[in-house]
Copies of this chain bind each other. A is one copy, B any other.
Amino acid sequence: MRGLCLDFNDPCMKLLTVGTVAFDTVESPYGKVERTVAGSCMYSAWSASFFIQSVGMISIIGDDFPEEELHILEKRGVSTAGIQRIQGAKSFYWHGRYHPDMIHRDSVVTELNVLENFHPQLPDDYTTTPYILLGNLTPTVQQQVIDQLAEHTTRLVVLDTMDYWIKHSLEELQRAIALADVLSINDEEARLLSGERSLVVAAAKILQWGPSYLIIKKGEHGAFLFSSDDIFFVPALPLAVVKDPTGAGDTFAGGFLGYLAATDDTSFNNMKRAMVYGSAMASFVVEEFGLQRLKTLTRDEIQQRVLKFKDLVSFNL
């Protein structure tokens, strides 16, 4: 049985998430937060921690990053041992400004800082983790992580990426995609990557490159899950207020994989449920700036919201 925990004294990791741990300054029509704790790895780890205890983070920070933010996660059962802290260096910093449509945004400042020399090293007890989430990073860095995994224990590798790598590192990206089980991109990226306008045709093409599943995210318009045989769609929940869409995709991915890891079931039917749980998590995170909403969120609220997704699309013939 793959993903089996062999060492009972040291509960093995169930889910590994690799990405940025950063500071964000975010401006939207609803306000502004300065240097709030953020990053793809933070959003996904927070989100996954609502579903399982043994989440491991792989990232890099400077000595400016507040230790207590990692302690809060440790208390939730998240291991931060895989986060390298570089003395005398600064954490990744991004400053973004959303347009009134809350979709388009300008990057005002992007300081890579420690991220410029990020070569993730998996602690030994992380290499047998069954569920792996590779957040948007240089494709070669993503592949470095895959290379360190003990192949026979890996159950599902989810790879996230963005248009920049499609445009500038296509070969490296395609090598990484070939090693992933699930590719997670947005609709414009799917079109760019495949050269196809139709998402059905794009999906069929991309699935031939290796992954068994393709998630196509459409932001406020929902998300598709494609396999070679099946299609599933989950809408985004229509919300009265969206204050900050930053991290919605990572929160979705953390919820999606957290649910799969907790249930340890990668059937298409269970993946459909995971898509709904991921979408529910994303619907919460955008309600407030940064990680704020996740920090007050309860499992009861998640369950209530998942029922709303069910109601939204249910009909009888």
Task: Check A232 against B198 for contact (C-beta < 8 Å).
Answer: no
Known contacts A218-B221, A221-B222, A222-B221; is A198 also within 8 Å of B316 by CB? no
User: In the docked arrangement, what's the CA distance between A100 and B195, Å?
Assistant: 12
Known contacts A312-B232, A315-B269; is A238 also within 8 Å of B197 by CB? no
Task: Check B316 against A273 for contact (C-beta < 8 Å).
Answer: yes
Task: Check B221 against A238 for contact (C-beta < 8 Å).
Answer: no
Q: Does A235 contact B (CB under 8 A)?
A: yes
Per the 8 Å Cβ criterion, residues 13-72 of A in contact with B are: none
Task: Check A197 against B102 for contact (C-beta < 8 Å).
Answer: yes
Count residues on chain A whose CB falls below 8 Å from chain B CBs: 37
User: In the docked arrangement, what's the CA distance between A315 and B101, Å?
Assistant: 31
Task: Check A240 against B201 for contact (C-beta < 8 Å).
Answer: yes
Give which listed residue, B102, B200, B269, B314, contacts A238 with CB less than 8 A.
B200
Residues of A within 8 A of B (CB): 100-102, 197-201, 218, 221-222, 224, 231-235, 238-242, 269, 272-273, 275-276, 306-307, 310-317
**Extra contacts besides A100-B197, A232-B315, A233-B312 (18): CB < 8 Å:** A102-B197, A198-B239, A198-B241, A199-B238, A222-B222, A224-B238, A231-B238, A231-B311, A232-B312, A233-B235, A233-B313, A234-B313, A269-B315, A273-B317, A276-B315, A276-B317, A306-B317, A313-B313
